[in-house]
Amino acid sequence: MSEKIKRLIQLIIFIGIGVFFVWLSVRNLEASDIQSIKESASQVRKGNSWFFLLLSSLFIVLAHVFRGLRSVLLLEPLNYKVRKSSSIYAVFVAYFANLAIPRIGEILRCTFLQHHEKVPFQKSIGTIVTERALDLIIFLLLFVIAILINQNAFSDIIIDREQGVSLGMRFESMMQSLLFSYKIYIFLLVTILLIVIIYLTRKQWRKIPFLIKIKNFGYGIWQGLISIKDLKHPFYFILYTFLIWFSFYLSTYACFFAFDFLSHLGPVAALSVLGFGTLGFVIAQGGLGAAPLIIAATLVLYNVDYNGGLAAGWINWALQTVTVIVAGLLSLLLASLSKKKTDEEYKTN
């Protein structure tokens, strides 16, 4: 199968996932619900709403600027001194490209640096693995924090209105049933046997191409993470990483003030939306469908009407998407006007 066909299939799958989540978020909406969403969305035309949306957009831009600055630090141990402006342009171009084709942005980012900064492709791709690994860990940490701070809200969700049964009550009932069920012990026994069999046949498993890829991927992430110890400016690396995610957090929080029905929510709610909402951008192409749905579901935990939350989710998604598109196009323009230099001019001493 050619590379073009693979990319086409990948694109169809990612867009398909996004379309599925769009359908999932609107499948049960009635005319009154749609009207409610329109009324909620119309609030952005009132008062200072546009100011807070622009402020939210600014924080998105800052997050990617810090990402570009962090990238410069990762290339220094490889003896390449990259212009900060070029690194920032490369980040915006990458995220802009990812909106069209999944994961093509990483390739374009490396190609961009090779073309403008004379950094070999294989050198920059290694630093991107490091960035992705670190950001994945931070995202998982935020996701776990979001779960922990909302565990009571999850437990109070009513899943059977007629009998007044909450999610927490149903979970407790299920756990009690499992403890006295022979099925759970059979499951545990089978699991232990499978672990033993896998251990005894581990040499054969190591020859399977798919598992080899997983192993190499994990090893690449690990190597990328431990390479941080070789940084010349570790403090700034940690600082930029913090500022990236703090900017995304401020972007989320600023967006709350664009809506009357969200302006009363505090910093904890913004952290929850960031922790859960980021998942939408991971599982669907550009967050299409998934991000608004997850944001709406998260806001429900804070007693926000689902329709209002869905409107806010779609506006938040549109804001991020438009910001990336505009910044990406502007970066392409500015990069085309910037001067390219020779290899030696980018070598560090």
Residue range 190-219: mean pLDDT, rounded: 77
DSSP string, 269-289: HHHHHHHHHHHHHHHSGGGTT
Using alpha carbons, select from 273, 290, 281 the residue that is nearest to residue 149: 273
Q: Which two tokens stand for residue 130?
A: 């490091």
User: Which of 160 and 238 is assigned the larger pLDDT?
Assistant: 238
Q: At what angle do helices 84-98 and 104-117 cross, to 10 degrees?
A: 150
**CB neighbour list of residue 29: distance below 8 Å, 6 or more residues apart:** 37, 307
Q: Which two tokens stand for residue 329?
A: 């196009």
Percentage above 70 pLDDT, the chain: 71
Q: Is the pTM of this model over 0.85?
A: no
Bridge partners (DSSP) of residue 160 are: 165
CA distance 329 to 319: 16
Instruction: Strands of 157-315 (E only): list them.
Output: 158-160, 165-166
pLDDT digits (tens, 9 = 90+) for 26-49: 555 555 545 555 665 666 656 678
Using alpha carbons, select from 58, 61, 113 the residue that is nearest to residue 90: 113
Using alpha carbons, select from 316, 346, 315 the residue that is nearest to residue 38: 315
Look over the chain and give the mean of its residue pLDDT values, rounded to a whole number.
79
pLDDT of residue 202: 72
SS3 content of the chain, % helix, strand, coil (to 5): 80, 0, 20
Residue 106, sorted as left (phi over 0), alpha (psi -120 to 50) or beta, turns out to be alpha
**CB neighbour list of residue 36: distance below 8 Å, 6 or more residues apart:** 305, 307, 308
DSSP string, 87-115: HHHHHHHHHHHHTTSTTHHHHHHHHHHHH
DSSP 347: B
- Give the confidence band of 97 by pLDDT, cuts at 50, 70, 90: confident
Q: Which 3 state secondary structure label does DSSP give 144?
A: helix
Using alpha carbons, select from 220, 217, 201, 197 the residue that is nearest to residue 209: 217
Side-chain-side CA neighbours of 322 within 13 Å: the count stands at: 11
Using alpha carbons, select from 52, 53, 66 the residue that is nearest to residue 323: 53
Residue 86 has pLDDT above 90, yes or no: yes
Residue range 51-78: mean pLDDT, rounded: 93
Residue 194 has pLDDT above 70, yes or no: yes
Q: Which 3 state secondary structure label does DSSP give 138?
A: helix
Q: Which 3 state secondary structure label does DSSP give 119?
A: coil
pLDDT digits (tens, 9 = 90+) for 243-301: 999 999 999 999 999 988 898 999 999 999 999 999 988 887 778 778 888 999 899 88
Q: Count Cβ atoms below 10 Å from residue 306 Cβ, excluding itself.
A: 18
pLDDT of residue 278: 92
251 burial type by CB count under 10 A (0-12 exposed, 13-18 middle, 19+ buried)? buried
Instruction: Strands of the chain (E only): list them.
Output: 158-160, 165-166
CB 169 within 8 A of CB 156: no
